[in-house]
A and B are shown apart, each in its own frame.
Chain A
Amino acid sequence: MTRFFLTICVVLGLALPAQAEVEIQEVTSEAGLTAWLVEDHSIPFVALELRFRGGASLDAPGKRGSTSLMTWLLEEGAGDMDARDFARATEALATSFDFDINDDSLSISARFLTENKAASVALLRAVLQQPRFDPEAIERVRAQVLSGIRSDAKDPNDIAGRTFDQIAFGEHPYGSSSDGTEESVAALTREDLLAAHEAILARDRIYIGAVGDITPDQLAALMDELLADLPAEGAPMPERAEVTIPGGLTVVPFETPQSVAMFGHSGIAQDDPDYFTAIVLNQILGGGGFESRLMDEVREKRGLTYGVYSYLVPKDLAEVYLGSVSSANDRIAEAIEVIRAEWAKAASEGVTQAELDDAKTYMTGAYPLRFDGNGPIARIMVGMQMLGLPIDYIATRNERVEAVTLDDVKRVAGELLDPDGLHFVVVGQPAGLENTPAN
């Protein structure tokens, strides 16, 4: 049991700097691929992060879930190895490949011992270039995905998230689960998976980070071996999503003792000049663990919840500002009232100098804590590249936090926070709450 439960971890690229002593080199291969590298020969292994932009939002029309199912199948056999042969090969090398898919990217996090580099790269090359999608594997993994979809349908957190996404993003891929529906997944064919593979695993959308026991020359050769033969271009990127969230409240009846709520309204883009001010503001309002205003008012003073959080979600194709809270069915109405009041108070009054100072010392001081291992640093570097940040960004990041003034926060709070525009989705049997506007 932890005292403190981080319900949703949203990775904010700009809030994820490594520490000042990280020395990043840019490595360009013969085939023209670019990677960021931190050389560290103190431990004989390498963490390699590959990310392909577009993610599950590249699903073709009517093929919802195809990119996701394809991703899970990448580790189910490649080249001349079936699923079990492939798993045995990675175990024998003590190599790991973690595959992940979200709305904006497909990521592969690899880790291998220096002594097993060549064999590990050969395995990963087969994954990327010789997928098998054996019928037996497709059916096995499809059954797992369907089981997950059915479980999500009865999970109050998932129901709340999906309902909110539907309200916010409508027909855009962001508006539905990247897993697909039972119907769409059941209908996917091997051809659909090959098409999904071709749509995303291309050189025009790849970002690479490496940390550990590898030199620039070795990394350049590794990149070309892995990636030079991939197609130059993948599918066109999806359109931007139009965010239309009406203020109000939606109850999703579900028999469970504690109501789960998600709330939010439109957000702010990561390249907006006010983005940094917005993350400082959010740190104070609902981002900063025990110290945030929401946590203090809803949990510490009133005991209404175990956790309440807010977070900026700047996706590639839309921006929202979200939050979450859960309270017993007879207490959730009060929790929501307190959250609305805090939103309104911050919108009209901004924050205090003391709050701003504390948020800044936290954000700048937390800087070196992000630097905790080769894998995390590789992921941070890929995130920075995807945002188009300069390679020396890390050295300037704290200055940007320091530069935020009280007036900036007050102005941005007034522009960004919209208490009447907040929409709450409440899953449970909440006492005293009804749909607004009524439908």
Chain B
Amino acid sequence: MIRLPLLAACLALLPGLASATDEAVTTFALENGMQVVVVEDHRAPVVQHMVWYRAGSADEPKGSSGVAHFLEHLLFKATETLEAGELSATVARNGGRDNAFTSYDYTAYFQRVAADRLELMMRMESDRMRNIRLTEENIATERDVIIEERNQRTENNPNALFGEQMSAAQYLNHRYAVPIIGWMHEMETLDMQDALGFYETYYAPNNAILVVSGDVTPEEVRALAETYYGVIPANPDLPERIRTEEPPQTAERRLIYRDARVAQPYVRRSYLAPERDPGAQGTAAALTFLAEILGGGTTSYLTDALQFDTQVATYSAAFYRGVSLDDTTFNVVVVPQPNVSLQEAEDAMDAALAQFMIDGVDPAQLERIKMQIRADQIYARDDVDRIANRYGQALASGLTVEDVQAWPDVLDAVTAEDIMQAARDVFDRRASVTGWLMREEVTQ
């Protein structure tokens, strides 16, 4: 249940804990380097067809923030063989739904449709991998659309504006400092060259992952994929995915964001944190538990300390997202009761974190979380598209199929001591940002 929808909308509370049931998953690669994942579920005659590109906002050239997402919109315009809008219209005429999304590390396109329409989806999706044809009118109109999207998601939402400032302060040298949708002043200048430059660099089979889930067999997928994607030549000039790295973070940052539209002030702390790395997911697994233990709901440590044992907070949470190409963040948020100041809320939060470092992990709580992870492997079989999404996200963020399949075991092996060690390492104030979201001060 969500009692604070504005907050919940901008903070992803629960990371995907468990991974797939391996027996339903088949993976292989085409000769041109395109990776393929098939997740079978034959209970209903439906497929989800996705193509993930290893290219997101953090891969954009300096000065053109938002171009990855802008390009995502433009991929629904014309190609050599499709008119603008025809791809989505064709999907709809076939009873399907299509959409796309962009993140820091990837851009993905998908359709959900009756299983016997998979070939048509592949024909159209493979076409727009190389053949888009844009007009200046497309650029001008769609740029207006993404500006309205930024207005809707961000400019109209003080929580989102605050989140942008937090990220910008967290990363000193890495592109995760820049919002996925882009800074407004740079979005306004995005042009045809920016879009096509990004497209020609990154949209190629050797930079893409095909993920098909539902009522298909790996053999069917392989045959179709070879026909439609296999014939597209690899891009020999695909750049290596190297980004500017963070220097040692040596100074704690603090910020205050004021906005007259803030109804509910709160304090948020983010710490730079390691992500899941190929073959080395142990620390990320420990941090995943740490977030659950500290702020995963009614039975969590912060909720106990700040909402039950004392009445400092209306709401508290901790969250961590381990799937990321580069360093991610570990976050704690405390929404104070009306009679509690942000300073008092922050002090109580720090006192609770300090006390947790003394108390350590409650073994019973750890066991309950592990039980839920094991159960999630059963529940996940009811939602193969979710399994498909996990593969797409992980493979586009630098992980391997083996990493995805090892993840439940890596989680299961985490000990209380691992979690405390991860906590000692991550709670480094020098690598942290503390933000206060406040109302505008009224001067009368």
Contact = CB atoms under 8 A, between A and B. Distances in A.
B173 interface: no
Interface in A131-187: 139-141, 143-148, 150-156
B233 to A, nearest CB: 27
A405 interface: no
Given A155-B6, A372-B383, A2 B101 contact: yes
A290 to B, nearest CB: 4
Given A147-B315, A289-B97, A45 B378 contact: yes
B67 to A, nearest CB: 12
Contacts of A99: 1
A358 B3 contact: no
Nearest to B75: A3
A6 B113 CA distance: 19
Interface in A24-39: none
A231 interface: no
Contact of A326 (B147, B148, B372): B148
B420 interface: no
B201 interface: no
Interface string A361-373: 1111111110111
Given A99-B1, A372-B44, A258 B156 contact: yes
B264 A147 contact: yes
B148 A305 contact: yes
B3 A291 contact: no
Contacts of A306: 145-146, 148-149, 151-152
Contacts of A156: 156
Contact of A2 (B85, B99, B264): B99
Interface stretch (A49-57, A83-91, A190-198): A83-91
B260 to A, nearest CB: 6
A72 B92 contact: no
B63 interface: no
A256 interface: yes
A366 B97 contact: yes
Interface in A296-330: 296, 299-307, 326-328
Contact of A369 (B84, B112, B147, B261): B112
Contacts of A144: 3-4, 314-315
A1 interface: yes
A256 B261 contact: yes
Interface string A1-26: 11111000000000000010100000
A99 B338 CA distance: 26
B260 A255 contact: yes
A382 interface: no
Given A289-B88, A372-B383, A147 B141 contact: no
A43 interface: yes
A291 B88 contact: yes
Nearest to A7: B152
Interface residues of A, number: 81
A352 to B, nearest CB: 14
Interface string B108-145: 00001110000000000000000000000000111111
Contacts of B1: 72, 75, 98-100
B300 to A, nearest CB: 9
A1 B140 contact: no
B126 to A, nearest CB: 19
B247 interface: no
A369 B69 contact: no
B371 A92 contact: yes
B265 to A, nearest CB: 10
Contacts of A372: 44, 46, 383, 385
A418 B149 CA distance: 29
A3 B94 contact: no
A421 interface: no
Given A300-B85, A304-B148, A372-B46, A4 B371 contact: no
B346 interface: no
Contacts of B112: 369
B280 interface: no
B379 interface: yes
A364 B93 CA distance: 10
Nearest to B42: A42
B95 A373 contact: no
Contacts of A290: 76, 85, 88-89, 92
Interface string B141-182: 111111111011101100000000000000000000000110
A73 to B, nearest CB: 11
A288 B97 CA distance: 10
Contact of B45 (A362, A368, A374): A368
A373 B387 CA distance: 13
Interface stretch (B28-36, B235-243, B282-290, B303-311): B303-311
A258 B260 CA distance: 15
B385 A304 contact: no
A83 B308 CA distance: 10
B145 A299 contact: yes
A306 B141 CA distance: 11
Contacts of A45: 378-379, 382
Contact of B144 (A143, A303, A374): A303
A94 interface: yes
B353 interface: no
A153 B260 CA distance: 12
A72 B1 CA distance: 8
A148 B4 contact: yes
B424 interface: no
Contact of A361 (B93, B141, B156, B180): B93
B72 A3 contact: yes
B355 interface: no
Interface string B290-321: 00000001110000100110010011000000
B379 A111 contact: yes
B218 to A, nearest CB: 20
B299 to A, nearest CB: 5
A369 to B, nearest CB: 6
Contact of B152 (A5, A88, A368): A5
B298 A328 contact: no
B262 interface: yes
Instruction: With a 10 A CB-CB cut-off, give which of B263, B364, B367, B383 has the most chain A CB atoms.
Output: B263
Given A143-B337, A154-B262, A156-B156, A291 B144 contact: no
A260 B382 contact: no
Contacts of A302: 141, 144
A79 interface: no
Contact of B89 (A44, A111, A291): A291
Interface of A: 1-5, 19, 21, 40, 42-45, 72, 75, 83-84, 87-88, 91-94, 98-100, 111, 113, 139-141, 143-148, 150-156, 255-258, 260, 288-291, 296, 299-307, 326-328, 331, 358, 361-369, 371-375
Interface of B: 1, 3-6, 43-46, 69, 72-73, 76, 84-85, 88-89, 92-97, 99-103, 112-114, 140-149, 151-153, 155-156, 180-181, 260-264, 297-299, 304, 307-308, 311, 314-315, 335, 337-338, 364, 367-369, 371-372, 374-376, 378-379, 381-383, 385
20 contacts: A2-B100, A3-B99, A84-B304, A91-B299, A91-B369, A140-B311, A141-B3, A144-B315, A147-B264, A151-B4, A151-B5, A151-B264, A257-B155, A258-B151, A258-B155, A258-B156, A290-B89, A290-B92, A300-B84, A303-B140
Given A87-B298, A358-B89, A365-B95, 10 more contacts: A1-B102, A3-B72, A144-B3, A289-B97, A291-B88, A300-B141, A303-B140, A306-B145, A364-B95, A365-B96
Q: Which 9 A-B pairs have the closest CB atoms?
A: A365-B95, A303-B144, A94-B375, A258-B151, A87-B298, A306-B149, A303-B141, A144-B3, A154-B263
